[in-house]
C-alpha cells in the first residue's frame, strides 16, 4: 500500500494548479481592458483634433462675418438716400419721362436702378407701396427695349436675366397710350397689395416717379 508520504512524491501542489486558470483569466481581462483603453484614446485623439479644426473654422468664419458687418456699417449714403445691401437708393417723387428721370439720376452721380436679386426687388416693392398715391403712381426703373423690340437691357448695357424678372400679369404687352406709341420702358409698383411681380412696360415719355441707385461710399 502506498503511504501518504509516497502519495506526495509527485511534487504537485493542488492549490497552485487550481489558481493557474484564474490568473490567466485575470491577465486576459486586463489585456482586454488595456486594448480597449488604447482604442478609446486613439479615437478620442481624432475627435479632439476634428473638434479643434471645426472650432478654428468657426472662428475664421466668425471673423470674416464681423469684418463684413464692419465694412457694411462703414458704408454711408447722403441725406435723402436710403441704404440697402451696400447701395444707396433715391426715390424721386418728381414725375418725368424715362429719359429725363435717368438724366436726373446721373446728375446725382447715379443711374436708374438695376435690380439684381429677388431680395432687392422685395426691398424696393415694400418701399414703393408706402410712397405711391394710387396704383398708377409707379416708378421708373433702368430697364428698356428701346434699342430693339423685346431685347430688354439694363442701363449698364447688360441683358435682363429672365430668372430675375418680375413682370406683372400679361406683361410686357407693348401697349401704347394715346399719343405715346409703344411701351419701351419699365416702371414698377403696386399700391393696394404687396406683389413682387409688379413690372409694367409703358411709353418712355409718360411722366412717372423714379428710383435712382448708386454704390454706397465708404465712411470714416
Cell of 89: 437708393
From the list 118, 102, 112, 111, the residue with the least C-alpha distance to 165 is 118
Plot region of 114 (φ>0 → left; ψ -120 to 50 → alpha; else → beta): beta
Do 146 and 205 meet the contact criterion of CB atoms below 8 Å apart? no
User: Among all chains, which residue has been given the C-alpha cell 448708386?
Assistant: 214
What whole-number distance in Å separates Cα of residue 77 and Cα of residue 189? 24
* Residue pLDDT, tens place only, 9-35: 444 454 444 444 666 666 777 777 887
What whole-number distance in Å separates Cα of residue 95 and Cα of residue 72? 32
* Helix H or strand E segment including 173: none
**Per-residue confidence at 158, pLDDT binned at 50, 70, 90?**
very high
Mean pLDDT across 113-139? 95
H helical segments located in the chain: 14-73, 98-107, 118-131
B/e letters for 169-185, b = 16+ CB within 10 Å, e = fewer, are: eebbeeeeeeeeebbbb
Query: Which pTM does this prediction carry?
Result: 0.66
Q: In this structure, what DSSP letter does residue 177 have?
A: B
* Residue pLDDT, tens place only, 84-108: 999 999 999 999 999 999 999 999 9
Least confident of 61-65, 137-141, 189-193: 61-65
Tell me the percentage of the chain whose pLDDT exceeds 90.
56
Amino acid at each position: 500500500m502506498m503511504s501518504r508520504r509516497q502519495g506526495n512524491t509527485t511534487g504537485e501542489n493542488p492549490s497552485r494548479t487550481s489558481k493557474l486558470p484564474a490568473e490567466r483569466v485575470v491577465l486576459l481581462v486586463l489585456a482586454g481592458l488595456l486594448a480597449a483603453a488604447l482604442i478609446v484614446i486613439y479615437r478620442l485623439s481624432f475627435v479632439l483634433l476634428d473638434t479643434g479644426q471645426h472650432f478654428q473654422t468657426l472662428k475664421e468664419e466668425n471673423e470674416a462675418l464681423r469684418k463684413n458687418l464692419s465694412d457694411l456699417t462703414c458704408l454711408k449714403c447722403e441725406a435723402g438716400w436710403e441704404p440697402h445691401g451696400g447701395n444707396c437708393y433715391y426715390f424721386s417723387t418728381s414725375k418725368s419721362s424715362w429719359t429725363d428721370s435717368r438724366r436726373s439720376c446721373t446728375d446725382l452721380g447715379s443711374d436708374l436702378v438695376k435690380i439684381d436679386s429677388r431680395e432687392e426687388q422685395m426691398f424696393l416693392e415694400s418701399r414703393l407701396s408706402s410712397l405711391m398715391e394710387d396704383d398708377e403712381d409707379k416708378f421708373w426703373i433702368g430697364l428698356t427695349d428701346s434699342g430693339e423690340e423685346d431685347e430688354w437691357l439694363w442701363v449698364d448695357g447688360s441683358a435682363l436675366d429672365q430668372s430675375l424678372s418680375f413682370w406683372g400679369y400679361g406683361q410686357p404687352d407693348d401697349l401704347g397710350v394715346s399719343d405715346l406709341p409703344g411701351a419701351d420702358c419699365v416702371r414698377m409698383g403696386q399700391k393696394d397689395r404687396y406683389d413682387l411681380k409688379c413690372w409694367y412696360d409703358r411709353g418712355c415719355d409718360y411722366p412717372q416717379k423714379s428710383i435712382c441707385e448708386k454704390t454706397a461710399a465708404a465712411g470714416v
